[in-house]
Amino acid sequence: MRRVAGVAAVIILLMVVGNVAAFWIFGADPGPGSGGFDRDRDGPGGFWVLPVLLLVAGGVAVGRTVRRSAGVLGDVMEAADRVAAGDNTARVPPRGPGEVRQLAVSFNAMADRLAEHDARRRALMADVAHELRTPLAVVRGRVEGMLDGVYPREDAQLEPLLDQVAVMTRLLEDLATLSTAEAGVLQLHREPIAPGRLIAEAAAAFAPQAEAAGIALTVAASDVGLAPIEVDPVRVGQVLDNLIANALRWTPAGGRIRVSADPDTTAGTGVAGEGAVVFAVEDTGPGIAPEELTRVFDRYAKSADSGGSGLGLAIARRLVEAHGGEIWAHSAVGAGTVIAFRLPPS
């Protein structure tokens, strides 16, 4: 529309300038019998021939531009209807003026993203069904065995059932946490707590597992500038638990995991207020490929051999963002991974 308005303004200006110039240059009376243009007889209106030609040419140019743009807009509308009907394969060939061509490119990028999320959603549903099917089968088999007298009704038979129920409960809690966090209705119970205490408690919970796997798990909290911060300790602990659990899953025996908390010294981070704290979990695992690193915090994102549901890091990101912070990852294949997040003081 800006382009059309600009062309129209130029045409009008040329019409006015052309008419005035033609009248004053050629409009002088050449004398009787000359057959020339007589300004007194014909007036200035006779000089609208050139502006009219310009108007016609401009109209043709504008019409051509509008027609090209309208064709692409029609393609986008048709493709949008197909996507709304569930066809995520709809794409628009980029063509036409620059702005309209960019619209087609943006639409295709959106459609690619929707198709990717739909594929991950389907994979998640399959994974959730698989992860629920196994513990449900165990619970059902044990209960039926006790009812039929195959197994005795004693604590040794009931304890495995509780373990399977805990697996299902954890998965359902992850789904509920992610849903409420993404909807922006997650409630945080903030209280002042020392960052060093947060990482110490999180690491202590995984110390036996790390020792059994032959992995050195260390904690490092800076003694300078780490004043207590106002956070929900349960939710931040959940983030740290997730990061440490991932590090343990990928770090081989003889490897190292370092959990740290340091004052934020990065200028212009976008986290409001002084006293922000950077938490980090570093491991010496195999690292993450560049094409996967950009998606590690997306829902359902996981490698083929991860064994999880692909929700852990997505939940971590949402919990950090709910505190007004940000989370990121650095990794290189064969050089380990660092996942860190920054939290404001309140």
Residue 320 lies in a domain: yes
Whether residue 82 has pLDDT greater than 80: yes
Domain co-membership, 159 together with 38? no
Is 274 contained in some domain?
Answer: yes
Structure tokens at 98: 């620059």
**Given pLDDT bands bounded at 50, 70 and 90, which one contains residue 324?**
very high
197 and 177 share one domain: no
Query: Does 198 share its domain with 155?
Result: no
d(CA 171, CA 150): 30
Write down the pTM of the prediction: 0.59
Q: What are phi and psi of 49, to 5 degrees?
A: -65, -50
Among 182, 210, 225, identify where a domain stops. Answer: 182
Residue-wise pLDDT tens digits, 155-174: 888 888 888 888 788 778 87
Q: Are residues 133 and 27 in the same domain?
A: no
Here the CATH number for the domain that contains residue 138 is 1.10.287.130
The boundaries of the domain holding residue 176 are 118-182
Cα(57)–Cα(228) distance, integer angstroms: 72
Residues 264 and 203 in one domain: yes
How many domains is the chain partitioned into structurally? 3
The residue with tokens 């509008």 is 66
Ranges 73-82, 251-260, 310-319, most confident: 251-260
Instruction: Read off the pLDDT of residues 289-298 as tens digits, 9 standing for 90 and up.
Output: 888 888 888 8
Collapsing DSSP states into helix, strand and coil, what is residue 284?
Answer: coil
Do 222 and 127 sit in the same domain of this protein? Answer: no
Last residue of a domain, one of 139, 157, 182: 182
pLDDT in tens, 108-155: 888 888 887 787 777 667 767 766 777 888 888 888 888 888 888 888
Residue 125 lies in a domain: yes
Q: pLDDT for 178-188, tens place per residue?
A: 778 877 778 88
pLDDT of 337 reads 95
